[in-house]
Amino acid sequence: MVKIEIRKKCPRCNEYYTGHPALSRADNKTKICSKCGESEAMISFALCNINSKEIINDRLNVIGSFISGSSGLIHLHLIKIKDILLEKLEKEE
Ligand SMILES: [Zn+2]
């Protein structure tokens, strides 16, 4: 029996993917590819409870280490997160 992999198009990055989709955190119903799911999870992790300089610096360190090992869309997302964090950090000071 031949296993047919159904290709689905991710509405977030417009790329085709196979396998299990992830649920977008934006509306909890849009199915997106696992890469996008990962990057959304990263964004919400990075931006939750950032209410002190220490936490922001901590998150910047984590994001920084992810940026160097990432590529494509996720890379762009991470850079965006970093910008948001840096902006927050400026406001804290
Ligand atoms: Zn995607």
Over the stretch 9-53, which tens digit does the pLDDT of each residue have? 999 989 999 999 999 988 999 999 998 898 888 888 888 899 899
Position 39 in a domain: yes
Own/partner pairs for 32-41, CB < 8 Å, 24+ apart?
A: 33/8, 35/10, 35/73, 35/74, 36/10, 36/12, 36/73, 38/74, 39/73, 39/74, 39/77, 39/78
Position 42 in a domain: yes
Q: Please classify residue 3 by burial: count the beta carbons closer than 10 Å to its beta carbon, then call 0-12 exposed, 13-18 middle and 19+ buried.
A: exposed
To the nearest whole number, what is the mean pLDDT of the chain?
89
Position 84 in a domain: yes
Position 49 in a domain: yes
For ligand 1, the distance from its centroid to the CA atom of residue 57, given in whole angstroms, is: 28
For ligand 1, the distance from its centroid to the CA atom of residue 93, given in whole angstroms, is: 36
For ligand 1, the distance from its centroid to the CA atom of residue 54, given in whole angstroms, is: 32
Q: What is the pLDDT of residue 82?
A: 94
Position 62 in a domain: yes
Position 2 in a domain: no
> Residue 86: which domain range?
8-92
Q: What is the pLDDT of residue 73?
A: 77
Question: Number of structural domains, the chain?
Answer: 1
For ligand 1, the distance from its centroid to the CA atom of residue 73, given in whole angstroms, is: 8
Position 30 in a domain: yes
For ligand 1, the distance from its centroid to the CA atom of residue 79, given in whole angstroms, is: 17
Q: What is the pLDDT of residue 88?
A: 93
- Percent of the chain whose pLDDT exceeds 90: 52
Position 3 in a domain: no
